[in-house]
Amino acid sequence: MAEHKHDEHYHPPGLQHQFDDMEQQMDSVTIGMWIFLAQEIMFFGGLLTAYLVFRSKYPMAFAAGSNHLDPFWGGLNTLVLIVSSLTMALTVYFAQKGNRNMQVILILLTMFFGAVFLGVKAIEYTGKYDHGQIPVNGWNKVVKEGEHKEEAALRLPFEVKASAAGSEAVHPNPRGDFHILNDSEEVKPLIEIIVEQKNLGEKGFLTESEMVGYFSEGEFDLVKFTQKVQLFFWIYFILTGLHALHMIVGLGIMTWLLYKAWLGSFSAYYYSPVEISGLYWHFVDIVWIFLFPLLYLLGRHFLAGGGH
Amino acid sequence: MDNADAMNLEGAGAEPKVNYLTNGFSLRSWLLTKDHKRIAIMYLISVSFFFFIGGLYAATIRLELLTPASDLLESGTYNKVFTQHGIIMIFLFLIPAIPAILGNFLIPIMIGAKDLAFPRINLLSLYIYWIAGAFVLYALLQGGVDTGWTFYTPYSTTFSNSYVMAVGLGVFINGFSSILTGLNFIVTVHTMRAPGMTWFRMPLFVWAHYATSLVMMLGTPVIAITVLLLAIERFTQVGIFDPAYGGDPILFQHMFWFYSHPAVYIMILPGMGVVSELISNFARKKIFGYEFIAFSSIAIAVFGFLVWGHHMFVSGQSIYAGLVFSFLTMVVAVPSAIKMFNWTATLYKGSISYDTPMLYALGFMGLFLIGGLTGLFLGSIGLTVHLTDTYFIVAHFHYVMVGGQVIAYLGGLHYWWPKMTGKMYSEFWGRISAMLVFIGFNLTFFPQFILGYQGMPRRYASYPEELQVLNVFSTAGASVLGLGMLLPLIYLAHSLVRGKNAGDNPYMHPGLEWRTSSPPPTFNFEKTPVVTWEAYEFGPDSGMDLEAAKRREELESTRY
C-alpha cells in the first residue's frame, strides 16, 4: 500500500468512504456482525425462554407434542444444515484464495442445501396442516367423516401401525380445528402414564401446573390436555417459522454473494462480505442445532420403551 | 495546531467553506444522504414532531384532571389519551431523542471520525423510525389504543377493541431502529477513533452512549419478540399469555419489563452523558473521577438488566423473587449516586458560568436527585405496596424522564446548537425558558407525590373532590411547563434566520467537536485530528491555542 500513500485519488475497491483503510473496514464489519448476532441471540433467547417456561410447566403435554413431530425429517434437516455450514466455510476459504470458480460452486451448493432445508420444512408444515396440528382453530385442512381414508397409510410410523390394525382412520375435522389423536399410539401411552402418576399424588412426577392443568374434578380432561399440546405447537410454529424466515433472508444474502463472487469481487485483500455472510449463515445453522433436540427429541423416550 | 481546523487563523478571513448543510440543497441530497449530521437533523425534526403530539396528549390529560369529575373526556377516551401519551413519548421521543439526534451528530465528531461506521445502516434506522411512526399515527387516526403503554395481557390480546396490532407493529418496527443505531455506535466507538483518541480520552458523552448502545442491543430484541408474540396471539386467539390455554400473563410482564426496565436506562444514560459534558465544561474544570463516571455508565447498563422484577412486586411474583429484585434495585442506585457525587465534586471550586445549557444541567441534578431517591421508595418491597399504581409513581418517573432526560436533552440541544447550525440563539430567552421549564416542572409533578401518597390512583379520569387543590396546582404547572417547552421552538427557529454567527468555538471549550468549523464540513474535519490531550483538559496541555482562538473570535465578531 505504500506506493499509494501520496496519491489522494487512489481508492481501493470495496473501501467505503468513512474508513481510512481496509483493515479498519474489516474490523468494523466483523464486530458489527458479531454484535448483530448477539442481538439475534437475545431475540431467539426470549422465545426459547417462553419455551422453557412452558416445557417445565407441562412436560407431558410437550412430550406429546414432540411425539407428533417426525425426527427423521428433523434429523435430515440437521444433517443438511451441517453440510451447508461446511460448504459455507469452504466458500470463505476459497474467497481468501481468490478462487472464483470454487466460490461460485460452493455458494450454489450452500444455497441448494438451504433450499432443501426449506423444502423439508414445507413438507412438515403440510403434514401438520393435513393432520389438524396447526394450533389455530379453523386453520387446518377440513376433513369430513369418511373422507381421505387412504391417507392414513401415508402417516408417520406409529400411525401406519395403527391403520394397519384397522383401528384408526383419519380424524374427522369439519371445522379445521386443532386436535391431537387421543386414541392413537402416539398419545395413548402418555395419557396412561399421566393418570398413573396423578394417582401417585405427591410421589408422582407430575408438576403442580400439570396436576391442575390436565384434570377437571380429578378426572383426566382431554380438552385441557389438548390445549397444552396446542401451546407446544404454537411455540413450535413460531420458533421454526422465525428460523425459516432467517433461512430465507440467508438465501437472499447468498444470491447477492453469488452475484458478487461471479464478478470475481473477492480476494485475499477484500473478502469481508463473504466472511460476515458466513457468520450469519453459521448462526442460523446453530439455532437449528438447538431447535432440533428441544422440539423433536425431548420426551420421546416415553414411547420408545425407555419407560419413565 | 495543524489538527485543529478551528484554530486555523488563515482560514478565518476566507470565503465561508462548504459545510454539511450547504453541501447540496435538493430533497434527494437529504433523503439519500449518508452524512450522520444530516440524518441527525432529520431525526431532530421527526422526533420534535412526535414530542409535540405527545405533549398535546399530556395537555389533554392535565385539562381533564383539572376537575374531579370526568367531564372533558369519558373514561374510555381518557384511557386512550394516556396510553398514546405514553407510547409516543417513550418509544418515539425519549428513546431516540438524545442518541439519535445528539449522539448521531456528535459521536463521530467527538472521536474524530469522518462518519459512523455504517452510514447506510444509519439512514436505514431513520427510515425504520419513520415507518414505525407511520404505524403509530395510523392507529391514532383510526381511533387509538387503550391498553396503557405496557400492553398488559390478556387485556391487550383478548379484550381491547382498539388498534393494538398497528401500535404493536409500530413498536416492533421501531425496535429495529434503535438496534441499528446501537450497533452503529458500538462499532464506531471500537474502530473509528482518531489517532491518540484512547478509550479514556473519550468524552463521557461517548461512554454514556456506548453503555446505552449495549442496552439497546441486548434489550430491544426481547421487546421485539414479546410484542411479536402478543400480536400473533391477538391474531390467532391462541397463545402462551392466555390463561385459558394454560398460558401465563405474568410471563408477558417478565418479558416486557426485561426490556422496558433497561429501556429507562436507554432513556436516562445519554442524558447523564450530556450532563457530564455540561457540568465539566461550564465549570471549566476537568471532571472529577472520570473513570468512575465512565464505568458507572457501564455498571448501570449491566445492573439495569437485573432489576425488572421491581415492576411486578404486586402482580403475583413470588415474594422471594421480590426480595432479590428489591435488593438489586438498591444496588443499581449506587452507580447513579456515584455520578451525582462526581458532578458535585466537579462543580466545587470550578469557575462556573450560568449559560442556558448549564442552567439545564443544574436543573437536571436537582430533579434527577429527587427522581432517583423516590425510586428507592418504590424499590422497597414494603412501602411499594402502598404506592404502586398511584400518582407517586407517576411523579417519580416523570422526575426521572422529564426532569432527567428531557431537561438534559434541552440542555444538550442548546449547548450544541451553535455547532449544529452555526448560529447563536438568544441567551436571554434561553435562560427564561430554562427557568420556566424548571419551575413549571416542579409545580406540575411535585404535587403528584403528595397526591399519590394520599392514595390517588393513576389512569383514572375522575378523583375525589378533596384532591382537587393539588391537581389544580399540577395543571397550572403544566401550563408553565408547556410554555417553557414552546419558547425554544420559537427562539431556536428565530436564531436560524436572525441569529448571530456562533463561530467555531463560542464557549472556548476543549472538546474535539469545538475544534472543527461550525457547522462542520461533511467529513467533519479537514484533516484527521491527532489527539494529544486528555478529556476536559482546560490547561495548556489541551493543544488549544487559547489566545489565537480568542483573537479569532474577535475577528469573527467584527465581520458580522
Which residues of chain A does B221 touch, with a Cβ-Cβ cutoff of 8 Å? 39-40, 42-43, 45-46
Which cell numbers hold the place of A220?
383426566
The DSSP secondary-structure symbol of B499 reads P
The number of beta carbons lying within 10 Å of the beta carbon of residue B68 is 15
Kindly determine whether residue B239 and residue A234, on different chains, have CB atoms separated by under 8 Å. yes
- Classified as helix, coil or strand, A143 is strand
Which residues of chain A does B115 touch, with a Cβ-Cβ cutoff of 8 Å? 17-18
| Residue A215: its H or E element | strand A215-216
Closest residue of chain B to A46, computed from CA coordinates: B222
The answer to whether the peptide bond before residue B249 is cis (omega within 30 degrees of 0) is no
Which residues of chain A does B239 touch, with a Cβ-Cβ cutoff of 8 Å? 231, 234
Which cell numbers hold the place of A261?
463472487
The DSSP-derived string for A186-208 is TTHHHHHHHHHHHHHGGGS---H
The DSSP secondary-structure symbol of B88 reads I
Query: If interface means Cβ-Cβ distance under 8 Å, which residues of chain A face chain B?
Result: 16-20, 24, 27-28, 31-32, 35-36, 38-40, 42-47, 49-50, 53-54, 57-58, 135-137, 139, 178, 209, 213, 224, 227-228, 230-231, 234-235, 238
The whole-chain average pLDDT of chain A stands at 85
pLDDT of residue B103: 97
Which cell numbers hold the place of B425?
440563539
Which residues of chain A does B523 touch, with a Cβ-Cβ cutoff of 8 Å? 17
At A69-97, the pLDDT tens digits run 999 999 999 999 999 999 999 999 999 99
Which residues of chain A does B187 touch, with a Cβ-Cβ cutoff of 8 Å? 28, 31-32, 35
- B40 to chain A, any CB pair closer than 8 A? The answer is no
pLDDT of residue A22: 87
Q: Are B38 and B20 in contact (CB under 8 A)?
A: yes
Burial degree of A129 (CB within 10 A; 0-12, 13-18, 19+): middle
**CA–CA separation, B549 and B205 (whole Å):** 24
Q: CA-CA distances (angstroms) from residue A144 to A134, A149, A170, A177, B98? A: 17, 10, 9, 12, 60
Kindly determine whether residue A231 and residue B114, on different chains, have CB atoms separated by under 8 Å. no
pLDDT of residue A191: 84
Residue A168 has pLDDT above 50, yes or no: no
Task: State the smallest CA–CA distance between residue B362 and chain A in angstroms.
Answer: 36
Kindly determine whether residue A43 and residue B225, on different chains, have CB atoms separated by under 8 Å. yes
Residues 221-240 (B) with a CB less than 8 A from some CB of A: 221-222, 224-226, 229, 232, 236-240
pLDDT of residue A292: 96
**CA–CA separation, B271 and B408 (whole Å):** 5
Residue B423: beta bridge partners?
Answer: B501
Task: State the smallest CA–CA distance between residue A231 and chain B in angstroms.
Answer: 6
Nearest Cα to Cα of residue B177 among B205, B144, B230, B136 = B136
Nearest Cα to Cα of residue A202 among A211, A194, A193, A214 = A211
Kindly determine whether residue A47 and residue B117, on different chains, have CB atoms separated by under 8 Å. no
Q: Look at A182-196, A268-282, B302-316 and tell me which has the smallest mean pLDDT.
A: A182-196
pLDDT of residue B24: 86
Q: How far is CA B488 from the centre of its chain?
A: 17
> Which residue is listed with cell 481468501?
A96
The DSSP secondary-structure symbol of B26 reads S
Does residue A162 or residue B231 have the better pLDDT? B231
Which residues of chain B does A39 touch, with a Cβ-Cβ cutoff of 8 Å? 179, 183, 217-218, 220-221
- B220 to chain A, any CB pair closer than 8 A? The answer is yes
Do strands A219-220 and B423-424 pair parallel, antiparallel, or not at all (unpaired)? unpaired
Residue A201 has pLDDT above 50, yes or no: yes
**CA–CA separation, A226 and B504 (whole Å):** 71
Which cell numbers hold the place of B120?
447506510
Which residues of chain B does A135 touch, with a Cβ-Cβ cutoff of 8 Å? 236, 238
pLDDT of residue B244: 86
Do strands B500-501 and B423-424 pair parallel, antiparallel, or not at all (unpaired)? antiparallel
Q: Are B130 and B225 in contact (CB under 8 A)?
A: no
Nearest Cα to Cα of residue A51 among B151, B165, B255 = B255
Nearest Cα to Cα of residue B437 among B404, B389, B485, B475 = B485
List the beta strands (DSSP E) in B457-517: 500-501
At residue A96, φ and ψ (nearest 5 deg) are -65, -35
Interface contacts A/B by beta carbons within 8 Å: 116
Residue A175 has pLDDT above 60, yes or no: yes
pLDDT of residue A202: 82
> What is the percent of chain A where pLDDT is above 70?
83
| The model's pTM | 0.91
Q: Are B181 and B216 in contact (CB under 8 A)?
A: yes
Residue A1: beta bridge partners?
Answer: none
Nearest Cα to Cα of residue B300 among B380, B374, B215 = B215
The number of beta carbons lying within 10 Å of the beta carbon of residue B206 is 27
Angle at which helices B119-142 and B164-191 pack, to 10 degrees? 160
Max distance between CA atoms of chain B, in angstroms, equals 76
**CA–CA separation, B451 and B541 (whole Å):** 53
Q: Are A245 and A47 in contact (CB under 8 A)?
A: no
Do strands B423-424 and A215-216 pair parallel, antiparallel, or not at all (unpaired)? unpaired
- B260 to chain A, any CB pair closer than 8 A? The answer is no
The DSSP secondary-structure symbol of A110 reads H
Kindly determine whether residue A43 and residue B221, on different chains, have CB atoms separated by under 8 Å. yes
- Classified as helix, coil or strand, B48 is helix
Kindly determine whether residue B222 and residue A45, on different chains, have CB atoms separated by under 8 Å. yes
Kindly determine whether residue B217 and residue A228, on different chains, have CB atoms separated by under 8 Å. no
Smallest Cβ–Cβ distance between A35 and the set B116, B183, B226 belongs to B183
Which residues of chain B does A238 touch, with a Cβ-Cβ cutoff of 8 Å? 229, 232
At residue A173, φ and ψ (nearest 5 deg) are -140, 65
Profile chain B (560 residues) by mean pLDDT over runs of 10 residues. Answer: 42 64 90 95 97 96 95 93 96 95 97 94 97 95 92 90 92 95 96 95 96 95 94 91 89 95 95 96 93 96 94 89 94 94 95 93 96 94 92 96 96 96 94 96 97 94 94 97 95 93 87 91 91 88 71 59
Does residue A14 or residue B331 have the better pLDDT? B331
Residue B500: beta bridge partners?
Answer: B424
Q: Are B256 and B223 in contact (CB under 8 A)?
A: yes
The DSSP secondary-structure symbol of A142 reads P
Q: Residue A57 contacts by C-beta under 8 Å, 6 or more apart in sequence?
A: A207, A209, A210, A213, B246, B248
Q: Give the torsion through C-alpha atoms of B58, B59, B60, B61, to 10 deg.
A: 50
Q: Are B285 and B350 in contact (CB under 8 A)?
A: yes
**CA–CA separation, B155 and B138 (whole Å):** 21
